[in-house]
Amino acid sequence: MKFDYGDEVIFKGVDGTGRPIERPGAVVGITEVQNSKQAETVGYPIGTTLYTLEFGDGSDQLVPEDRLASL
């Protein structure tokens, strides 16, 4: 599923202890990994769409599309 700027989403990940978490946020940036240097820097393969999410506490995180769901 593709998301757009301003979309409210749920980030599905794990916390520091390995427990699953779901954290609501808003899409504030969209980046497609386009070359090998970028892939090495972000740790995702070429062609991956990454979204910058901003959370209610003001923090942000860069996450791959497959970790998101619509709110």
Residue 3 lies in a domain: no
CA-CA-CA-CA dihedral for 48, 54, 6, 39, to nearest 10: -10
pLDDT digits (tens, 9 = 90+) for 10-30: 999 998 999 999 999 999 999
Q: 10 Å Cβ neighbour count for 43? A: 11
Is residue 47 assigned to a domain? Answer: yes
Indicate whether 63 belongs to any domain: yes
Q: How many domains does the chain have?
A: 1
| pTM of the shown model | 0.89
Q: Is residue 26 part of a domain?
A: yes
CATH number of the domain encompassing residue 29: 2.30.30
Whether 23 is in a domain gets the answer yes
In a domain, 2, yes or no: no
- Give me the domain span that covers residue 27: 8-70
Q: Are 46 and 35 in contact (CB under 8 A)?
A: yes
63: confidence class by pLDDT, cuts 50, 70, 90: very high
